[in-house]
Amino acid sequence: MTSLGRGDIFTNEEVESRFAKDTWQRKVFSELDSALRSDVRPFPCVYGVAGHKAGQIRYGFAETLTAEAIAAALDAYLPHSRDFGANTSLALFEAPSDISNMKDYFERFWSLLKGVAEIDKAPWPSAIPEATDAPMWEFCYGGEPIFVVCTTPAHVLRQSRRSSTFMLTFQPRWVFDRILGTEKAASKSFSAVRTRLADYDFVTPSPVLGKYGDDGIREAEQYFLDDTNTPLTCPFHKLKD
């Protein structure tokens, strides 16, 4: 498979049955699978771990991740996402290639998100601001608010954002609403994640991480974290013209 098409998203079991062990798809999946299942070095995102172990995450692969390929995967995923489980997300892998620098990955990430937003035929949700620096802004597609995470081979110190290839993960907002629905639940969740981050990474947890809507918190600053704790500003005022 050289590119994502509609329906080209897979469960854990489907990845293992569809792709031979010597394919790049199986290798990058196996790397993530090992990280999410490790008891020796627990992965920081406890809900991603739970989702993977429960078979609730869906995976997609493309030789090159383009805006069109990402949009096709989201079209296949979002209409059924609520049926996949409480900790679902969509993880998209690109074929391994020469490693770029952090700046190039950052710029590519935002260019891709803008491209996906421009492809989207659904109107931007009226409840979500269009300005990326607005307190309540977040990425949306198909009318669905979504938290996005980018991981790259350029990450060294921030191991929680490292992968052997350029990779994007999309998690619908409703997943967080269920998990972080009360202040007590949110506090417990963030405490658990920060504790794991401190043990997992070679850099302290980023100061921009926080709960959606809290004072001073911006979603756009959390999507792509580099190896320092300097906040990175989205290069676009808004994604959808």
Q: How far apart (Å, rounded) are the C-alpha atoms in residues 201 and 151?
A: 13
Is the pLDDT assigned to residue 1 strictly greater than 80?
Answer: no
Helix boundaries (H) for 91-225: 102-119, 173-179, 183-200, 219-223
- For 187-213, the pLDDT digits (tens) are 788 888 999 999 999 999 999 999 898
Strand order in the sheet with 139-141: 58-62, 90-94, 167-172, 144-151, 139-141
- For 18-32, the pLDDT digits (tens) are 999 999 999 999 999
Residue with the larger pLDDT of the pair 215 and 142: 142
CA angle 146, 148, 149 (to 5 degrees): 160
- For 42-98, the pLDDT digits (tens) are 999 999 999 999 999 999 999 999 999 999 999 999 999 999 999 999 999 999 999
Q: Tell me the average pLDDT across 3-23.
A: 86
The encoded tokens of residue 78 equal 């979002």
